[in-house]
Structure formats: structure tokens, C-alpha cells
Amino acid sequence: MIKLIIIILIGKCLLLLADEKDVIVYVKLATLLIFLTTVLDFLKL
Amino acid sequence: MNEILNIFTDPLKLAGQSIILVLIYTVLFLVIEAFVPKFKKWGDTLFVIVLVLTLGQTVMDAFSTMGEIVNVASDFFLAITPILTSILVVLNAVFSFIAWSPIVLFIFEMLMLLCKKVLIPAITVALILDFCSRFIQEISFSKASDLIRGTVMTLITASLLGMVTVLSFTGVAFFTIDQAIASPVKKVIEQTIPIVGSLIVEGFSIFHKYQSTATTVVGLGAMTAFWIAAFYPAGKLLIHAMTFKLLAAVVEPFTGSTISGLLDDVGKSLLLLCAVAILLGIAFVFIWLILIVIMQLGVGKSF
């Protein structure tokens, strides 16, 4: 969950600074990866 | 006396302070936005961060209160179980012993486990997901957090139903659910937000049968103390939750949907936490009533 909060904070900063819509795709990708690793950690896989 | 009064006034003071602080921040951000229109882009994000920093302590307090209740209740049930079982054995109430003891133990242990391992962590996760959804609106976790809240609500309802069914006398004897128990559960399933009120009002009706006997035995003062001890934490959590709901309602016209939505979501999560506290409170009072009723049965009084 901490990883998720960190990626969301970094993502928001990037979105505000870059001012480009394309950045959101990378933020979504990073969030999905974090989410997947969290789920895998939780399932002990 | 002041210390006792402070116990009741502190949550209200904290609520008042939070409301005033958020109103001041709203005015401040509106003024900055009026003079520096470019600030609008950063404004909402900064406002969310300021809100988290200001009200985060209240939310943390709510969760620590909940953690304390669970620990106290866990210790209490652990301590009372051998006493209760011994009384049942000593009094030779064979039927009562068979019917009550293992089920009571099982139900309360399961309740503690459920609160510690599932309910509180699930509400925390829902709260974090709400924050993430509101912070970057393009990445929304709102369905996930709603799902978690719904599941927690169902678990609370199921626990309440199970506990009340097993612990009521008729339930123990015949495993039937009477109307007084069925109606609040129905209401609870139907409505999510007014759940706390419904739990309080209808949940109390199940004690009605034993309350008068218990009050005669231990006195009005002792019973009042039990009630206050059992439901004070839930009341405190309810005040916290309602503060967030009120804040969401007050700031909605002046800020974007992000801010009011976040406050509303936090309020919803705290209401769920309050429902968990009420559940534990009901269990706490119930175990006292069982103890008193069993002692009365032991001296030959019938109901």
C-alpha cells in the first residue's frame, strides 16, 4: 500500500509538471505493476 | 469531574476544531485562486495534501481507538470465559453448559479474529484507495473501495446475525431468528449509510428481555456504566465520521468535487469503523447480560 501511495504521489507530480496527457499512460502502467507485485506478495507467489 | 466531562467533550472539541480549520483553508485557497488564477492547477492537489496533513491525525486517532477496543475486548473475553464456564459447571446447569459455552467461545473468538485480521485492515485499504482515486482522478479505484466497504458491511451484518441468533435464548435452544432480530438485519442490508443508526436502535431492542432483570440485579448505576463503557468508543467514532460527512457537505459548494468527495469517502469508512465498534459493544454488553442471567438461573429464578 505504501508503494501504491508513493507511485500515486510521484505520478501526480509528473502530471502537474509535464502538462502532457501522455504521461498518464506511464503512471497507469507503473500503478498496475505495483498493484500486481502487491497481489503476488500477498498471495506469497 | 472535569476529567470525566473531558472524555465526552474532547471528541466534540476536536470535531469543531477540524471544521473551523477546513473552513479557514477553504477561504485561503479561494482567495489565492482569485488573485492567482494559474494556481488553480496546483490548488486542488495542494488542498488534498493540506487536508491529509490536517485531518490525518483524526483518522489515525479513530483507527488507534479501534485497535485499542479490539485489544481490550480480546483480553476481556479471554478473562471472562473461564469464569463464565466455571460458573456454568458449578451451577450444574448442564443444558446451559452444553448449549452456551462452546458456541459463546467460538463466536467471540471469531469476532475478535475477524476485527483484527479482516475488518480493520480492509477499511484501511479502502481509505487508501479512496485517497488514490481522488488524488489522480484518471486512475480510479472507487469500485474497488466500494467493493471492500460492501464486503465489510456484509461481514458485520453476518456477524451480528450469527451472534444474536446464537446468543439469544431461543436461538440457543432452537436456532430460530425472531422478528426483532430479522428486521434490523434486513434494514442493514438495504441501507448502507444509515446503518449505524439502525444498528444502534434495533440492536438495543434485543437486550430488552434481559435488561430489566440485569438492572434489578446489579443496579442502574452498574448497568449504565456497562453501557457507557461498551458504546463510548463507538460514539466517539460516530462523531469523527459525522464530522467528515458535515465537512464534505459544507465545503462542496466552494471547492471541487475532489475535496468534498474525499471527505465524504473518509466519512463512509469511519462510519464502517463505527459499525464494527458497535458490534463489539453489543458483544461486550451481551456477555455481561449472559453472566447476570446465568447467576440468576443459578439461584433458582426463572424468566
End-to-end CA distance of chain A: 17
Cβ separation B135–A8 shorter than 8 A? yes
Residue A24 lies in domain: 2-42
Asked if residues B297 and B141 have their Cβ atoms less than 8 Å apart, the reply is no
Instruction: Please give the grid coordinates belonging to residue B211.
Output: 435488561
- Cβ contacts (< 8 Å) between B135 and chain A: which residues? 8-9, 12
Cβ separation B139–A11 shorter than 8 A? yes
Which positions ≥6 away from B168 have C-beta within 8 Å? B178, B181, B206
Spatial separation of the C-alpha atoms in residues A27 and A9, rounded to whole Å: 10
pLDDT of residue B258: 82
CB pairs under 8 A between A and B: 32
Asked if residues B63 and B124 have their Cβ atoms less than 8 Å apart, the reply is yes
Spatial separation of the C-alpha atoms in residues B23 and B247, rounded to whole Å: 8
Does the interface ipTM go beyond 0.85? Answer: no
Nearest CA-CA partner of B267 in B246, B241, B249: B241
Given a cut of 70, the residues of chain B with pLDDT beneath it are 1, 88-89, 91-105, 164-220, 293-294, 296-303
A12 touches chain B (CB under 8 A): yes
What are A11-40's pLDDT values in tens digits?
777 777 776 667 777 778 888 888 788 778
A16 touches chain B (CB under 8 A): yes
Cβ separation B139–A8 shorter than 8 A? yes
Which H or E run includes A4? helix A2-18
CB-closest option in B41, B42, B128 to A5: B128
pTM above 0.80? no
pLDDT of residue A20: 65
Q: Give me the number of domains chain A comprises.
A: 1
Nearest CA-CA partner of B169 in B199, B213, B200, B202: B213
Domain ranges of chain B: 2-298
State the nearest Cα–Cα gap between A43 and chain B, in angstroms. Answer: 15
